[in-house]
Chains A and B, each alone.
Chain A
Amino acid sequence: MIEVKDLYKSFDDKEVLKGINTIFEDGKTNLIIGQSGSGKTVLMKNLVGLLEPTSGQVLYDGRDFVQMSKQEKVMMRREMGMIFQSAALFDSLTVLENVMFPLDMFSPMTLRERTQRARECLDRVNLIGAEKKYPGEISGGMQKRVAIARAIALNPRYLFCDEPNSGLDPKTSLVIDDLLHSITHEFGITTIINTHDMNSVTTIGENILFIYEGHKEWQGVSADIMQSTNKRLTDFIFASDLLKEMRSLVNEHRAKQ
């Protein structure tokens, strides 16, 4: 479980996070949603330690990540996997080498075992056959799947995904969502996903945090989000005319019943 307590983050005199308090539950897909510039990525970077909070705590099973020593942070990070918006694969390495990289760095396995494990991860994301290709030779969706395979290679306890559907077509987005959701349950990982994608919210969001201008505006499960009366949340979710129309149709249907 990851608990965030009174998290503030400022850049010079601009306050981006204004006292976030939340809990990301174990074995669930936790979603962070919000408009561009609301502070989602800054929150995630604070969670993984790429940014230092101005004040507040990030507790991993009760242990404050901010107060950990350098060595403790390194050990903690080995329990984390992260999928970046741009996939962030190493250009100079092949797909197989990318997945093997964390194993090469930290695993005591033999070369044969490491290769076997990397192939298992690639198989899990349906990428067997692409092992010898370089990141530049595969599609954006495949790159995201390689990033997922690399992130799960060391069996992490926490998986962070920064807009994993960004730049992907709706069908590929569904594949990525399904994959993240099933991996979360299969391995009991605590997954935290930053997203704008409303389809992800309704299909895989088990715990949803809505951030508005740097503070927590709403938190709940996907079943509640459609019935929410929070104006900022509904304005965000039903921003498109199509969704507004669908919502009014659903409401009409419910009224008739």
Chain B
Amino acid sequence: MKLLHNWLTHFGQFIILMGRTFSRPERMRMFFKEYTKEMAQLGINSIGIVLLISFFIGAVICIQMKLNIQSPWMPRWVSGYTTREIMLLEFSSSIMCLILAGKVGSNIASEIGTMRVTQQIDALDIMGVNSACYLILPKILGMVTIMPLLVIFSSAMGIIGAYGTAYIAHILPPDDLTLGLQHDFQPWFVWMSIIKSLFFAFIISAVPSYFGYNVEGGSVNVGKASTDAVVSSSVLILCSDVFLTQLLS
């Protein structure tokens, strides 16, 4: 009962915060300045880690499929086909967002949390600035804008990783991989991946912002908020993934 009360309280406070966040910025010039800064800080700075992880995961999936699924009874395109489907449908959207929830989520929660405990948010409020809108809205919109790009980069890099196993490690013939990658391709799956990632981008940016914005106390609480933010956004991504996959399939 207490847990439900706690959850409902958090949910209500989150809705109120989002109500304040999604209001018209005081100065559009300042908003766009922050928006581009957040896109670079949260999105562009994550491209490196996204490409690195996607390359290796693409390669590993391809090797696993070849070694564990491929058999004389299976068509020769099966390894490439399953690699593409896994990368496109789950890894590049859901799993990549889980990884980003750790990197970006902790960054957002600790940044806003530190601003709260050092009274920088109070300073904004005293000036008459809507602190929620000024600090959180550019992060949410920046993340939502950049996320489709990260998903596309991740999928492409995963496939490059798979080709790496074919050309460098000679795990499977490149022709078989190409055949599998092209087999029964459905463009909707790309859109599905992008649509899912937009929801996850909102979760990754809004939930840690909420935890950071409501920090009380000192640096220990900022650390706790950062951990809570990553755990909560990861759980929310996994739960919403189930619903979104069912809804969009």
Q: Which residues of A contact B (CB under 8 A)?
A: 48, 50, 73-78, 80-82, 84-86, 88-91, 101-102, 104-106, 160
Question: Are A88 and B122 in touch, CB under 8 angstroms?
Answer: yes
Query: What's the minimum C-beta distance from A8 to chain B, rounded to whole angstroms?
Result: 22
Q: How far is the CA of A77 from the CA of B129 in the complex (A)?
A: 9
Q: Knowing A86-B119, A88-B118, A88-B119 touch, does A80 contact B27 (C-beta < 8 A)?
A: no
Question: Are A88 and B26 in touch, CB under 8 angstroms?
Answer: no
Please encode chain B, from 113 to 130, with 1 for each CB lying within 8 Å of some chain A CB and 0 for all others: 011001110110111111
Residues of A within 8 A of B130 (CB): 74
Question: Are B27 and A84 in touch, CB under 8 angstroms?
Answer: no
Query: What's the minimum C-beta distance from A193 to chain B, rounded to whole angstroms?
Result: 15
Residues of B within 8 A of A86 (CB): 118-119
Query: What's the minimum C-beta distance from B163 to chain A, rounded to whole angstroms?
Result: 41
Residues of B within 8 A of A82 (CB): 122-123, 126
Q: How far is the CA of A75 from the CA of B127 in the complex (A)?
A: 9
Q: Knowing A104-B27, A105-B30, A106-B26 touch, does A91 contact B127 (C-beta < 8 A)?
A: no
25 chain-A/chain-B pairs, Cβ below 8 angstroms: A48-B126, A50-B122, A75-B128, A76-B128, A77-B125, A77-B127, A81-B126, A82-B123, A84-B123, A88-B123, A90-B123, A91-B114, A91-B115, A91-B118, A91-B120, A104-B27, A104-B29, A104-B30, A105-B26, A105-B27, A105-B30, A105-B127, A105-B129, A106-B127, A160-B126
Residues of A within 8 A of B128 (CB): 73-78, 106
Q: Which residues of B contact A (CB under 8 A)?
A: 26-27, 29-30, 114-115, 118-120, 122-123, 125-130
Q: How far is the CA of A89 from the CA of B120 in the complex (A)?
A: 6
Chain B interface helix/strand/loop/mixed? helix
Residue of B nearest to A85 (CB): B119
Q: How far is the CA of A75 from the CA of B128 in the complex (A)?
A: 7
Q: How far is the CA of A54 from the CA of B126 in the complex (A)?
A: 20
Q: Between A and B, how many residue pairs show CB distances below 8 Å?
A: 53
Residues of A within 8 A of B118 (CB): 86, 88, 91
Residues of B within 8 A of A88 (CB): 118-120, 122-123
Q: How far is the CA of A101 from the CA of B128 in the complex (A)?
A: 12
Partner of A90, one of B27, B120, B125: B120
Residues of A within 8 A of B122 (CB): 50, 82, 84, 88
Residue of A nearest to B123 (CB): A88
Query: What's the minimum C-beta distance from B44 to chain A, rounded to whole angstroms?
Result: 17
Query: What's the minimum C-beta distance from B32 to chain A, rounded to whole angstroms?
Result: 12
Query: What's the minimum C-beta distance from A4 to chain B, rounded to whole angstroms?
Result: 18
Residue of B nearest to A83 (CB): B123
Question: Are B27 and A77 in touch, CB under 8 angstroms?
Answer: no
Residue of A nearest to B120 (CB): A88
Residues of A within 8 A of B127 (CB): 77-78, 101-102, 105-106
Q: Knowing A88-B119, A88-B120 touch, does A50 contact B125 (C-beta < 8 A)?
A: yes
Residue of A nearest to B33 (CB): A104
Q: How far is the CA of A85 from the CA of B26 in the complex (A)?
A: 27
Residues of B within 8 A of A160 (CB): 126
Q: How far is the CA of A78 from the CA of B118 in the complex (A)?
A: 21
Q: How far is the CA of A80 from the CA of B122 in the complex (A)?
A: 13
Q: How far is the CA of A158 from the CA of B242 in the complex (A)?
A: 54
Q: How far is the CA of A69 from the CA of B220 in the complex (A)?
A: 36
Residues of B within 8 A of A105 (CB): 26-27, 30, 127, 129
Further 11 A-B residue pairs, CB within 8 A, beyond A74-B130, A105-B27: A48-B126, A78-B127, A78-B128, A80-B126, A86-B118, A88-B118, A90-B120, A91-B114, A91-B120, A101-B127, A106-B27
Q: How far is the CA of A89 from the CA of B118 in the complex (A)?
A: 9
